[in-house]
Structure 1
Amino acid sequence: MNKKTKTKLKAIYYIVLIKLIAVFSARAAALKAFKVFSTPYSGKPKRIPPAEFSFATPLTLPFEGKVLRGWLWQPEPEKNNGKKILIAHGFDSCSYRFAHFIQPFLQQGFTVIAFDAPAHELSDGNTTNVLEYRNAIVAIKKKFGPFEVNVGHSLGGMAITLAAEKLQDTSKLILIAPATETFTAIHAFSKLLRLNANIKSAFVQHIKTISNHSIHYFSVSRAIAHIHAPVLWIHDESDIICPFKDVLPVQEKQYPHISFYCTKSLGHSNIYRSKSVKNAIISFSNNE
């Protein structure tokens, strides 16, 4: 059975289950839906570590009753520029996906640190959300920072943006196809699992209850206006996971601290594998 078929069958299972729960309670159905929304759909497959991870220094960080696991790479002493880069992967991903960035950053003299997000790959937990991911990044920054450059893909892009806002951090942000608007993700998820209006309303209310914020708080376009740091925003026009239409209102505001690098036909998951994108990231990281 291929991955697409498995995903479809899993969606059908949750559609039926949540509808059944909703017969008795819309709130209970919403809580179940939120758990599904917060669970990496690939689970924790035993991926083979890329070669770059064989010479990294393993890191651990206690966080909210869990242990986060990460890695540190240091350049040769004669190349060390004294600066650090933090890499934050996306939802249902892991630090291994950014292995091809390690050597280029080291060649430029950067110390590189990457952590698996809560509930991902080697870090503890089964579910996570952007608020927890933001708080994890804040904890990582306080323990292992300061970082002169912060790189985040997808949900990691939103998380590092919210962390920068919270800390009033002025170090560089590189956002690769960031999850720009949470309400867009919730709308797509609701459509996939066919959540009715009552369940969707209870779902949104649950987010407000656990975070003390409306879903509109969890927005890169909102937070970016409060950040006074150089930003490189990379996004593909054909991205269907984090739609390009959510980027347009930010572009229209023409913030002087944001540079956009827009691509075509790279999609969401392959954009950071592009040689031109990698070169743009390295160049932006090095610019004073």
Structure 2
Amino acid sequence: MKKLKQIIAQVKTTDEASAGFNDLLWQLICYSPKMPVRLQQQQLLDEAEKFSLTAYDEHFTHTHLKFNGFKWGSGTHKIVITHGWGSKAADFAELINALSLIPDTTIIAFDVPGNGSSEGELSNGALFADAAKAVIGQYGTPDILIGHSLGGMANIMALNDNGAKPKLLISVTPLIRLKENFESSMAAAGVSAEPQAAYLKSFEELVGRAASSYDLEKLYQRGPEQQHFLLYDEADMISPYKFIRDFLSARPFIRNKNYTGAGHAGIIRSPEVIADIVAAISAILK
């Protein structure tokens, strides 16, 4: 978090017309803050079977980045968790502990490249999706696929690419529109409209697709045959409710529930949320 604060301070004090300002915006948008692991989280990681896989970083380093994964249990029912931006597998400690009480399960979580304990300085949606695909490729289609924030969008992108069909998809405050998230982050750092537009143009040139294409309204290819539980907080400012509302209104078959006040990051630790996720999974696996 200290480095992110330094980046924000530098963005705020640098002349927007300077040659290197757009490079600063890449740091602002693509540096994922890394928070230390708490004692309880480390104890959970110590109990896990460790593994490592790779995801190709086609936009920054042009190398295969190693990312770290963790597996608990050896049951026949696989549960895979994809964390969100600025997060890591260990942040799901409370949920993982609760899920481990469900009989006959294997729980798998991982740190996306550029996040947590994994390699990489910068990260993006492509690395999130490719890491999820690598885990599914290694361990097979999970019975349950859980994603938080950007991890929710990444899971959809991974399923689109590999055609996997989990029994239950769980999305917790999923990011709906990436472009608007970028704009919000830049505006919060005091960046004016013109350099925002310049950054979005450079994003499209580097990535080969516009930031606006990272939109669950466009990416979601599932119908009523896919059981899907979407959990959100209508007061969430990171994944605004107006976008989730529009997404859900076009897909009335998606079960959903509001947890006002849970918070974008805190929702994955909410006892009510954890209880509802465990109940939903137990009903599917019974």
What 5-or-longer segments of structure 1 have no aligned partner? Answer: none
What is the Cα-based RMSD across aligned positions, in Å?
2.3
Instruction: Give the match for residue 255 of structure 1.
Output: 252
1:50 aligned partner: 42
Q: Amino acid of the residue matched to residue 235 of structure 1?
A: Y
User: Contact 1:239/1:268 (CA < 8 Å) preserved in 2?
Assistant: yes
Amino acid at match of 2:151: G
Alignment of 1:26-45 (within 5 A): 28-41=20-33, 43=34, 45=36
CA distance in 2, matches of 1:214, 1:287: 39
Contact 1:173 1:232 in 2 (8 A): yes
CA contact (8 A) 2:55 2:127 kept: no
Deviation at 1:63, TM superposition (A): 2.7
In structure 1, the residue matched to 2:283 is: 287
Query: Is the CA contact 1:130–1:155 (under 8 Å) kept in the aligned structure 2?
Result: yes
Q: What's the TM-score, normalizing by structure 1?
A: 0.86
CA distance in structure 2 between the aligned counterparts of 1:60 and 1:144, rounded to whole angstroms: 12
Paired residues in the alignment total 273
Query: In structure 2, do the counterparts of structure 1 residues 238 and 24 end up closer, same or farther at CA, with 3 Å as the change threshold?
Result: closer
Say yes or no: does 1:62 pair with 2:54.
yes
Which amino acid is 1:182 matched to? L
Contact 2:87–2:115 (CA<8 Å) still a contact in 1? yes
Equivalent residue for 2:242? 245
Once residues 202 and 153 of structure 2 are traced to their aligned partners in structure 1, the CA distance between those partners, rounded to angstroms, is 20
2:59 is matched with none
Question: Residue 164 of structure 1 corresponds to which residue in structure 2?
Answer: 159
**What is the distance in 1 between the residues matched to 2:85 and 2:36?**
14
Alpha-carbon distance in structure 2 between the residues aligned to 1:56 and 1:285: 21
Q: Secondary structure at the match of 1:23?
A: coil
State the distance in 2 between where 1:242 and 1:73 align. 30
Structure 1 position 175, deviation (Å): 0.7
Q: Which runs of 5+ in 2 are unaligned?
A: 57-63
Given that 1:161 and 1:173 are in contact with CA atoms closer than 8 Å, whether structure 2 keeps it comes out as no
C-alpha separation in 1, matches of 2:122 and 2:78: 29
**TM-score under structure 2 length normalisation:** 0.87
Q: 1:133 aligns with which of 128, 135, 146?
A: 128
Q: Distance in 2 between matches of 1:7 and 1:144?
A: 34
CA shift in 2, pair 1:136/1:6, >3 Å: closer
- Percent identity, please: 21
Instruction: State how far apart, in whole Å, the 1-side matches of 2:271 and 2:36 are.
Output: 27
